[in-house]
């Protein structure tokens, strides 16, 4: 294999293939980015004055464009062609209402800050998701990092054997580490119930054989490493990856991915849905010091029969989110964990001819809780039909800057891409919503 060919290999592919062929390590390729990061030296921790209390983030992303007028910004006085069958319900905070499919969240509203003034320039799904997750419009020449990668880069390696950034149920197209080194990217988990699969030595390999094969690999790679490791970071990463993998394989942190260790009460609290299991896994992970966990819930693209879709889709979100807030509070983790709910855009206030709602980036809603956020408040406002933001507009760059502020990191610190272009966590214009914090 030539030097150029080696550079073209993804780290994931290299680890998955080489680990299996060299010494029977049945580690899933999805874990490669994490393993390659664990022996990297920590960057200096960059703190922002006046930052929030958060040590971890649980980011719940509603993929497809969650309707705002039926969930977080209901308009009880709107006409039936706007309101549809959605009813407004009271919450445990006087004056704040939610859509009727969120009764459990309504009981936790004293912990939540609603952001009802989101707006975006991107009205297509892929572009909208990318913009919300990065604060930048998509470009063919570069991939921008997601907030979890920014967090890892700016705060540095924690030194833990468990990864600092994990995604759960996230589909294709996630920006991950973007232009940053792969070590800042997430460890993806495709199924929370399955956990971190293939993370132990093959059954046919005992410990003695395993270490012999490790030694053999070092001998076989010695000449190659001497030739390329000094000048090629990727080559160094390959060797470091195996060392990190062995450490994690013997680590007690592996049990964090095993939901079977949770009791019946916890599973009932979060609900039986795939999304609920992902949120339960997120709680287990932040309990063990994981810094950033993103859980995706897809299927919000309701062009047809939005009322029927809501009745089948929203209960899982309502139960899991409310259960998470309650659970974090009981465990004493709410003050140190920022809970974020985002989506790529809203849905059109006017119901279409198919009894659905179309894409609507002009106005939508999100929320934040915990991590220094003052609950029981609403930031921003839309007009009487939720069609336009009339107070305190919030952009995707602002949203990402606010996550950074909650963590106490310098969201406006410039990081240069490999082509020497300057970028920031909150983009050039992003400003944190400081009014959300206590």
Q: How far is CA 108 from the centre of its chain?
A: 22
| Range(s) within the chain of domains with CATH label 3.40.720.10 | 56-193+260-436
Q: Write out the two tokens for 354.
A: 């198919």
Domain 56-193+260-436 is found in CATH 3.40.720.10: yes
Q: Which residues pair with 327 in a beta bridge?
A: none
Q: Which residues pair with 337 in a beta bridge?
A: 56
Q: Which residues pair with 360 in a beta bridge?
A: 346
The pTM is what? 0.85
Site of tokens 């952009």: 395
Rg value, the chain, Cα? 23
Q: How many residues does the chain have?
A: 438
> In the 8-state DSSP scheme, what is residue 183?
G
- The answer to whether residues 158 and 137 touch, using CB atoms and an 8 Å cutoff, is no
Site of tokens 């319900």: 89
- The answer to whether residues 33 and 186 touch, using CB atoms and an 8 Å cutoff, is yes
Q: Which residues pair with 6 in a beta bridge?
A: none
Measured distance CA(392)–CA(378) in Å, rounded: 11
Q: Write out the two tokens for 285.
A: 């992970």
pLDDT of the chain, 438 residues: tens digit per residue: 444 444 434 444 444 444 443 434 444 444 444 444 443 334 444 444 345 799 999 999 999 999 999 999 999 999 999 999 999 999 999 999 999 999 999 999 999 999 999 999 999 999 999 999 999 999 999 999 999 999 999 999 888 888 899 999 998 899 999 999 888 889 899 999 998 766 566 555 666 776 677 678 778 777 777 776 665 646 555 665 566 566 666 667 889 999 999 999 999 999 999 999 999 999 999 999 999 999 999 999 999 999 999 999 999 999 999 999 999 999 999 999 999 999 999 999 999 999 999 999 999 999 999 999 999 999 999 999 999 999 999 999 999 999 999 999 999 999 999 899 999 999 999 999 999 998
Cβ partners under 8 Å of residue 13, min gap 6 = 29, 32
DSSP output for 388-431:
SEEES-B-HHHHHHHHHHHHTB-TT--EE-TT--EE-TTTTT--
> In the 8-state DSSP scheme, what is residue 392?
S
Measured distance CA(210)–CA(214) in Å, rounded: 6
Measured distance CA(145)–CA(169) in Å, rounded: 18
> Rounded to the nearest 5°, which phi and psi values hold at 118?
-70, 145
CA torsion 288-322-438-92 (nearest 10°) is -160
Element (DSSP H or E) covering residue 279 = helix 274-287
């Amino acid at each position: 294999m030539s030097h150029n060919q080696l550079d073209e290999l993804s780290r994931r592919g290299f680890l998955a293939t080489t680990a299996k062929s060299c010494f029977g390590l049945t580690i899933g390729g999805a874990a490669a980015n994490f393993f390659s990061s664990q022996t990297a030296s920590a960057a200096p921790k960059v703190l922002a004055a006046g930052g929030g209390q958060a040590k971890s983030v649980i980011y719940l992303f509603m993929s497809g464009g969650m309707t705002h007028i039926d969930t977080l910004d209901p308009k009880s006085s709107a006409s039936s062609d706007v309101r549809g069958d959605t009813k407004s319900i009271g919450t445990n905070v006087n004056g704040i209402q939610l859509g009727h499919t969120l009764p459990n969240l309504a009981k936790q509203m004293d912990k939540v800050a609603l952001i009802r003034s989101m707006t975006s320039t991107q009205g297509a799904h892929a572009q909208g998701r990318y913009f919300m997750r990065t604060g930048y419009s998509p470009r063919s020449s570069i991939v921008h990092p997601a907030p979890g990668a920014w967090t890892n880069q700016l705060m540095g390696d924690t030194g833990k054997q468990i990864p600092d950034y994990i995604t759960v149920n996230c589909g294709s197209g996630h920006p991950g580490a973007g232009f940053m080194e792969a070590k800042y990217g997430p460890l993806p988990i495709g199924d929370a119930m399955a956990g971190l699969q293939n993370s132990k030595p093959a059954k046919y390999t005992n410990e003695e054989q395993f270490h012999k094969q490790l030694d053999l690999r070092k001998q076989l790679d010695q000449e190659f490493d001497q030739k390329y490791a000094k000048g090629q970071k990727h080559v160094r990463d390959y060797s470091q990856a195996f060392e990190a993998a062995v450490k994690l394989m013997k680590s007690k942190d592996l049990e964090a991915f095993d939901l079977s260790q949770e009791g019946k009460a916890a599973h009932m609290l979060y609900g039986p849905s795939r999304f609920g299991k992902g949120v339960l896994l997120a709680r287990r992970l932040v309990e063990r010091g994981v810094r950033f966990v993103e859980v995706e819930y897809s299927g919000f693209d309701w062009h047809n029969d939005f009322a029927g879709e809501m009745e089948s889709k929203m209960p899982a979100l309502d139960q899991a989110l409310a259960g998470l807030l309650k659970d974090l509070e009981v465990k004493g983790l709410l003050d140190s964990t920022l809970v974020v709910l985002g989506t790529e855009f809203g849905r059109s206030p006017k119901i279409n001819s198919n009894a659905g709602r179309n894409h609507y980036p002009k106005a939508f809603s999100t929320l934040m809780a915990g991590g220094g956020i003052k609950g029981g408040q609403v930031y921003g406002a839309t007009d009487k039909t939720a069609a336009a933001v009339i107070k305190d507009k919030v952009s995707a760059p602002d949203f990402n800057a606010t996550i950074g502020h909650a963590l106490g990191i310098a969201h406006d610190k410039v990081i240069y891409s490999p082509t020497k272009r300057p970028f920031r966590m909150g983009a050039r214009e992003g400003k944190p919503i400081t009014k959300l914090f206590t």
